[in-house]
Amino acid sequence: MKIAAYHLDGKPGLGIVSADGSSLAPFDLNGNAAEKGVLALVDPEAGRPTATSEKLPLSAVKLRAPVPHPRRNIFCVGKNYYEHAHEFAGSGFDSGAASGAVPDAPIIFSKVPECVSAAGDPIPVDSRVSSAIDYEAELAVIIGRGGRGISKDKAMEHVWGYTIVNDITARDLQGRHKQWLIGKSQDGFCPMGPVAVTADELDLSKSWVRCHVNGELRQEAPISALIFDIPTLIETLSAGITLYPGDVIATGTPAGVGIGFQPPRYLRPGDRVAVDIDGIGRLENPVSSYHEAMRGAVA
């Protein structure tokens, strides 16, 4: 199933997207449950909500991030495609490059929950804070069944589904602070969506991730090219950290990010960034100045 979280007339909803993508069937949920997005389906305490027979045109709703309010930081993975590992190691911003371009274990960092935004929301560029805003197209895993000490051979049993994230990054802050939290967690730096799909909907062996900036293809790679695959990431994280239903893991980005060009090609107000993953859809966001983005949010 493809699941969309949305607002209709200012009220939250959650529904199953039709096969042709033109409409959705809302779940029978109260407002508090619907406000959680797909967490209303993932959380074992929420029961099993059913879809109604109503059909809403998708064009009539405002899409929200599938997990609009993550319960804790989003787990992220750095340098998880070979070519990107090399381009980042050569960028001058990789504090761990001295130990080799390709990591011998997953590099884990996080983004704070409050930086999540939806498809169509502006990516804010605050020139007072950073002048080096970059894009990173990524597949994100949504955990369905929690656990600790999960082995690779059991890991996929813990996956509820997938969505798309754009791991927006302030490269200058990333380089200045060495640890990545500040550069990765600025307001609006985690566009997510446009929908989530259940695990049975996506064939990871055939799915590709792509990113276009202003219509120009910048990133393209099969998900099967991950250095550390999803079972390895789940095993690594859960070895000493208990995973919970609704946890989100962003799996890493392919080569072609802005910092990989000479000179770097950072995002500027007026740009449009679109991330496509086969089987999920397209996450598209405009880039605007921070003040314009905030005016739009208030409006």
**CA distance readout (Å), 2 to 118, 140, 142, 156, 172:** 16, 15, 13, 19, 37
Q: Which residues of 106-139 are buried (b: 16+ CB within 10 A; e: fewer)?
A: bbebebbbebbbbbebbbbbbeebbebbbbbbbb
Question: Residue 80's Cα: distance from chain center in Å?
Answer: 15
Q: How many helices (H) and strands (E) does the chain have?
A: 8, 19
pLDDT the model gives residue 101: 74
What pLDDT was estimated at residue 92?
62
Mean pLDDT of the 68-73 span = 96
pLDDT over threshold 60, residue 98: no
* Residue pLDDT, tens place only, 214-266: 999 999 999 999 999 999 999 999 999 999 999 999 999 999 999 999 999 99
Asked if the model's pLDDT at residue 147 lies above 80, the reply is: yes
Average pLDDT on 118-133 reads: 95
- Is residue 64 predicted with pLDDT exceeding 90? yes
The residues, ordered by sequence, that sit 6+ positions from 50 with a Cβ below 8 Å of its Cβ are 27, 28
76 band by pLDDT with thresholds 50, 70 and 90: very high
Q: CA-CA distance, 223 to 207, in Å (whole number)? A: 6
26 versus 47: which is more confidently predicted?
Answer: 26
Residue 298's pLDDT is what? 46
Between CA 135 and CA 120 the distance in angstroms is: 15
Q: Which residue has the higher pLDDT, 89 or 130?
A: 130
Instruction: Record the tokens describing residue 227, joined without a space.
Output: 């250095």
CA-based nearest residue to 84, from 228, 235, 241, 232: 228
Does 282 have pLDDT greater than 90? yes
The per-residue pLDDT for 43 is 78
- What are the pLDDT digits (tens) for 27-55? 999 888 999 999 999 976 666 788 888 99
Task: Name the average pLDDT for the chain.
Answer: 92
Average pLDDT value for residue range 164-193: 92
94 pLDDT higher than 80: no
Distances (CA, A) of 180 to 94, 104, 140, 172, 295: 10, 19, 18, 10, 28
Average pLDDT rounded to a whole number, residues 257-276: 96
pLDDT, residue 102, reads: 83
Identify which has the larger pLDDT, 277 or 99: 277
Q: From CA 71, how far away is CA 225, in angstroms rounded?
A: 29
Cβ neighbors of 114 (< 8 A, separation 6 or more) are: 185, 187
Q: Give percent of the chain above pLDDT 70.
A: 93
